[in-house]
Every structure is written in C-alpha cells, then in structure tokens.
Structure 1
Amino acid sequence: MVLWKKAGFCLLLVSLVWVLSGCGQGGKEGEPGEQIVKVGTDAAYPPFESQTGDQKLVGFDMEVMEAIAKAGGFKVQIQHTGWDPLFEGINSQKVDAGISAITITEDRKEQYDFSDPYFDAKQQILLPSDSQVKTLKELQGKKIGVQSATTGEFVVHEAFGKTYPHLKGYDDTPTAIEDLKLGRLDAVVADKGIVLEYIKRLGPDKFKAVEDPSFPPEQYGIIVKKGNKALLDKINAGLKKIKEDGTYDKLYKKYFQVQ
C-alpha cells in the first residue's frame, strides 16, 4: 500500500511538471513545450498597426511579429492595449512584449530591453498642401499637434522647449490629424510612414509631407521587460531569420510599395 502511494505521488509530480512545461513564459497554457507570448500594441498607426471593423489587428508590425514568432519557434497573442498602457503592461507583466512603431531611444533603453532594430524611420511634418512651411522652425508661433510621449513630441520640445504654448498633445496620431483636417492645427509632427499613409488616404491635393533636415534618423524595436533575455534572444533569432530568408523584404514591399 505504501509503495503504491509513493508511485502515485511520483506519477502526479511527473504529470504536473509536464503540464507546467506547456505554459509559455508569461503566456497561457499551450501544447507541451510551446511558448505563447502576449504582445501589446497601440492599433492606431496605419500602415504599422490598425483595427478592421471586426476588431482584427492588421498591419506591417502585426505581420512582422507573427513572422518572427514562427521563425523563432513560439506563438504570439497580440492585443490592442493603447500607447501608455502598452508600456505599463510590460512593467506589470500583463504583456510580455510590445510592438507599435516604437522608436529606440536612450531614455526608453533605461527602462526596457529592445530587440535589434527592424525598421528605419524619421519624423515628418504633415501640412495643408498650400502651406509654405519647409522646416520645423518655421512653425514658430503656429499650432502643432503630436501624439504625447512620442518622438514627434520630443523633436518639437527640442525646437521650441517643453513649455511651447502652441503644442497640443493627443492620445493618438489619428485624432491630431483629424484636428488638422478641421483647421484647428497648422501642422502635425509624426513618424514618416504614418504621415505618408495619411496623405494617401486624405489626398496629396489637400495635404503634403515635409521632412526637416534637422530631424535625426530613428529605428524601431520590439520591447520586453528589462532583463528578459530569454524572450529577447528568441525575438532576435526570429527577426534574423526573416531578414535572411526574404520574408521581411516581402512584407516591407507589401506595405510600403517598394518596386
């Protein structure tokens, strides 16, 4: 009887270990050994990430993240979190990683670990087509819209100071652009890919993009909690593979119409 109990206890331990091994780091239970990574995004940046009418997440970042996971040997569950909650979610471990056209900056690197860069970017100024503005400095005294806590806001602060009275911060870029359409703003500063996408939507006869030579080049990366090297290594390995096998180039061409 005692031997049977010991054997049953050992079997229970083995079963428990097997079940736990099927849970992804910070994710849900899946197949044995399968890691499910919860990824947050702010789905308000077409063509990088946006939502369809049925709330499906689509865009360049979404497909890149899914391709990285496939190449890296893990699965992802991507969810729309919003911008600030994305970073808060990493800190509280509600999500394991974040992808949302996130520029790699020294300040952010102090708080989060970034993957290798996956996209080269730059800021641009979105203006009405009849505007004569050619540089950011020429917007002195004019109303400028940005998404708060983004590099668009940072470059305006650099040019005019953090207390510039005509700067208006928004929760997302589309809302700022809507105010520009309505004449409440003179310009919007945002990432180049997003500005060009909106010019296609709004019409080049109504709006145009200006790239100030003073704007520094930027790169996007995928963020994880500081010190999560195991997940970061998997993401970097997957990113390396899709760059080498042509998958990344196909997605880039799909979204940015490179011939």
Structure 2
Amino acid sequence: MSLTGQLRRLAGPALLLVASATLAQPTLPVRVGGDPHYPPHHYLDVDGQAQGFDMAVLRSIGETQSLALVFEFGEWGQVLDRLERGELDVVPMFISEDRQERFLFSRPFMRRSHLLFSRNGEWIEDPAQLAGRRVAVQFGGMAWEWLINERVDAMLHPVNEESLVLVEVRRGDADFALLPADIGRYAIATQGLEGLAVASPPWLERDYAFGVNPARPELVARLDAGLARLEQEGGLEAQRQRWLDPSPSGRQRGGLGWWLLPAVPVLLAGLVYLVAGRRAQLRKPR
C-alpha cells in the first residue's frame, strides 16, 4: 500500500474520534446579558438583534464550544445585578476588583482605557482637578465605580446609556464626560457630536473579558478554550478589524461607511452641476 493510502487509513479513525468528541460535548444553554446601547462592542440593532464585537466573538465561541446563546439585554446596572443573582450567565465587561468579588471571569480578550471629553478645550491631567466639576458617567459603569472608589470630589451626573454621557456635555448639563475611549470616539463619529474633544490622558486601563455567573464555573473553561482557539486561528483579530477598526477597510465592509457621510452632499452637488451643464450644452444650437 502506498504511503498516501496508509495516511488515509490512519487519518480516518482519527477524524472519527475528533468528530465523536465534538458531538459528545453537551450543549450548554447560556443566557447572555448586555447593554442595548453600547456600540461597537455590544448593542441591539433596529430589529432587536444582538450585534457588535463582543457578540461576534461570543457567537464564534458558541459554534466551537456547543453553547446555545440566548440574549437578554437591559439597563446596565440591572444586567450586572441579574448576573450576580444567576439570572444571566455571561456579560462582557471590564474587570475590576469589585467585580471579581461578584463574578467569575474568562481570560481577557482586550485591554481598554477611558478618556475624559469636554467642549471647552480644558485639559485635566489629574482626577483631583475634577473636584467640584460636573462629570457625566454611565450609572453602574466602570467610570462610575472608579470615581466613587477613588473618592474623587466631583459632582457625578449619571445617565443610563454610555454614549449619552457625551450628549450631557454637548448641551451644557455637564462639564466633562468620562467613558471608554473607543465608545466616545465612536459616538462622536456616528452621532454628529462635533465640538467635543479629548480632555485627559488615558485613565482606567483595564482588561476586558466575559463576566460569568458564579454558579456556572464550567462556562469559564469553555469560554477560555473558545477564545484560545479563536485567537490561534486569527478569528479574534478579524473580528477586531471588522468591528473596531475605524478605517474604511475595517469597521464598514460592503456598504457606505459612516466616514463617507460628510462627502455625500458634495458628491450630490457635483452630480447636479454635471447634469445641469450637460443639459445646457444640449440646448445650444448646433
């Protein structure tokens, strides 16, 4: 028998063993929580479907680790409480000491930081400079926890949606907004919040991972295995480029990106000019 034939004979049983192991892994139901207004990481689209980088990563893990995902998004503070009570199983979030006392965590799959934003160009180097200033934060979010734990003597202005903290600054109800850097930049780019600018160096650099229901430690092993496989195969980086890369080749593929929207009026005006000029030429006597 040829070498090729021998390899095929050996490969056949091996493939069967792998397939059997995969099929033997029991399917685990997983209730996934999240914030409906937290793009580009996780959010609900116009059809009420869970979308974003975190959800794409979790769906990829679910396919390889036999996880049956059910999405139950809601107000952020309530989502965290439901996870602690065991009413949810997985929620993507920053890791903090307080949260490690409440939840289990998967291996981190991102490192993220926060930024302060303002509209008056004022620069804040140290959080102590926020004493007596109005700072908009998401209620129950990482920035909220940090400012309270650090006893920063700021006047906290809580809102339920992370991206709306910038709106509070834009309309003058807060002096600053503290939120994740990528969320802030995404909101400014997509919501037309011109006039807002970064007002601090990066703060609150933390690992980002999947928080897990303390009563379901078996999920941590499957999430970790799925993340390791996704990273090894290049899938994690591909999802980062698709959802988090602000360049035209990254976040938006196969359609008109948000970055092209300002050019639309110019293009339309040019088209109108060309059509009008062509009509004028046709009306000239020959």
TM-score scaled by structure 1?
0.77
Please state how far the C-alpha of 1:184 moved relative to its aligned partner: 0.8
Please state how far the C-alpha of 1:235 moved relative to its aligned partner: 0.9
**Structure 2 gaps, min length 5:** 1-24, 248-286
TM-aligned CA distance change 1:121 to 1:230, over 3 Å: same
Q: 2:179 matched to 1:206?
A: no
Partners in 1 of 2:170 and 2:138 — Cα distance?
16
Please state how far the C-alpha of 1:258 moved relative to its aligned partner: 6.7
Q: Which residue of 1 aligns with 2:134?
A: 143
Deviation track 1:116-161 (CA, whole Å, cap 9, x = no partner) reads: 0011101111221x42224244433321111122221234335653
Q: 2:108 matched to 1:120?
A: no
- Aligned-residue RMSD, C-alpha: 2.2
Q: After the TM superposition, which residues 1-259 of structure 1 pair with which residues of structure 2 at under 5 Å, given as runs?
A: 33-99=26-92, 102-128=93-119, 130-135=120-125, 136-157=127-148, 161=152, 164=153, 166-203=155-192, 205-212=194-201, 215-257=203-245
Partners in 2 of 1:158 and 1:224 — Cα distance?
23
Partners in 2 of 1:257 and 1:127 — Cα distance?
24
TM-aligned CA distance change 1:89 to 1:156, over 3 Å: closer
Q: Compare relative contact order (CA 8 Å, sep 6+) and give the higher one, 1 or 2.
A: 1
Please state how far the C-alpha of 1:204 moved relative to its aligned partner: 7.3
TM-aligned CA distance change 1:39 to 1:66, over 3 Å: same
Please state how far the C-alpha of 1:227 moved relative to its aligned partner: 4.7
Percent identical across equivalent pairs?
A: 19
Is the 8 Å Cα contact of residues 76 and 141 (structure 2) preserved in structure 1? Answer: no
Question: Aligned residues, how many?
Answer: 222
TM-score scaled by structure 2?
0.70
Q: Which has the higher helix share?
A: 2
Larger Rg: 2
Please state how far the C-alpha of 1:202 moved relative to its aligned partner: 4.0
The amino acid across from 1:167 in the alignment is: L
Aligned residue for 2:104, secondary structure, equals strand
Is the 8 Å Cα contact of residues 125 and 188 (structure 1) preserved in structure 2? Answer: yes
